[in-house]
Structure 1
């Protein structure tokens, strides 16, 4: 159903056709990734992934900031066991994004710092407002951004990630675009439409095909060339055997629009 909105703790869940938008909804606190927020966001992502009517997810935020990272007050009060729980939840959240069968688009305004920058880098695609900034500033408060490093380094490369990690300096939106951290930079008043439009474009493809392709990217990233081709060939064989592949080829040859299945 289009135009549906519901609340899941600190995350607002909105549905418009085949696109689900998850909105971090603590603008007065710059949308920190508290333990509760990370668990709520992960639950909402998994629910979207389990719904075969969903073809894309957008992660956005309300207010002037996208996400200020982990809740530092929560971390300051945490003992070793509690800290381990926080970072385990963070890891589970990022892995959920990677394992989701549909693409996830980050919609970024204002600051995306530390785990907030990690969240952007973990998404499959990202659209940023012109005034957005990205940083991994943990080194400045004695807490090196080791977990954000995992995603950011994969997105921008080792040397650029090291500059961000060692200086803590923010990267502006045009630089983030040039470095590959985001896909598009748009005026602030065009951000919502640009992210929604990108997500809607994805929904025209077969969900089953996209799921296979997204997994193939994850499986081959960082592998030696021969192993990457072996994984990719297996993915192509699985894909070629699906009903949607047969439908797509038949539609192309018949010069008609394809009619995709609703399978995952």
Structure 2
């Protein structure tokens, strides 16, 4: 299994679509899949062609969480673990969009929460099932509690009760909950919108979303004044302002008609 390709990436216009491709175990987070996911994400994030990363899965399940058969067999700890993957997604200078093609459980919800934006199916089911098998949603709580409404997370963590995509959106886990036939169009639209942002500006905006608010208002204002001043004299700002005044698109905007992130397997 370690030699099998469980994750693959396809470049589609400005998007690098990273697909969990382990349908035999519902895209469970086996050690092999986690290691391949980390390596694939690192590769596409470093690729200059990538403007947006789309994370999705094959089959009717996005990700079923930990590979319980592997856990039961007492497999040795992997060299790369889920915390490494969540950190890579969280810290990526490229926006990461979760295309949640179906159900998700446990660790799969951690992947969704680590992404910048998440689009899922309204009829899909989600669940923090850890307490029902005697464990705790410990690692995934780190990104989830940064994203979800805390009261909703308290109930869903403690009960382990499954919930649908509409509840996931209300709780903050998903940004959009859509019908099956709307999934690709919605992801395509988001990729197109994100691709209109300047790459460095997007990376810096992601950073300030992580950093703010800090403990001190005046310190936040001081630091952000420095960031603002630096950006206004940057090459990207010069190009963006010139394009606006000249009534043209900036150089970083992909050519019209380029495919985006939809239609993932």
TM-score normalized by structure 1? 0.88
Q: Could you say what the CA RMSD is over the residues aligned between the two structures, in angstroms?
A: 2.2
- DSSP-derived class of the 1:66 partner: strand
**Residues 192-227 of structure 1 deviation map (CA, whole Å, 9 limit, x = unaligned):** 232133112211221111111111212225645444
Hey, what's the Cα distance between the residues in 1 that align with 2:142 and 2:107? 11
**Residues 158-196 of structure 1 deviation map (CA, whole Å, 9 limit, x = unaligned):** 222111111011221111112221111111122123213
Matching residue within 58, 61, 73 for 1:62: 58
Hey, what's the Cα distance between the residues in 2 that align with 1:111 and 1:152? 17
Cα pair 1:244 1:261 within 8 Å, conserved: no
Q: State how 1:244-255 maps to structure 2 within 5 Å.
A: 244-255=236-247
Gaps spanning 5+ residues in structure 2: where? Answer: 255-265
**Residues 3-28 of structure 1 deviation map (CA, whole Å, 9 limit, x = unaligned):** xxxx9820121111111101111112
Matching residue within 166, 170, 174 for 2:166: 174
Cα pair 1:149 1:161 within 8 Å, conserved: no
Gaps spanning 5+ residues in structure 1: where? Answer: 1-6
Hey, what's the Cα distance between the residues in 2 that align with 1:214 and 1:193? 24
1:104 maps to what in 2?
A: 96
Higher-helix-fraction structure:
1
TM-score normalized by structure 2? 0.87
Between the two structures, name the one with larger relative contact order (CA 8 Å, sep ≥ 6): 2
Cα pair 1:216 1:231 within 8 Å, conserved: no
Query: After alignment, is 247-256 or 104-113 more displaced?
Result: 247-256
Cα pair 1:121 1:151 within 8 Å, conserved: yes
2:22 maps to what in 1?
A: 26
Hey, what's the Cα distance between the residues in 2 that align with 1:229 and 1:155? 24
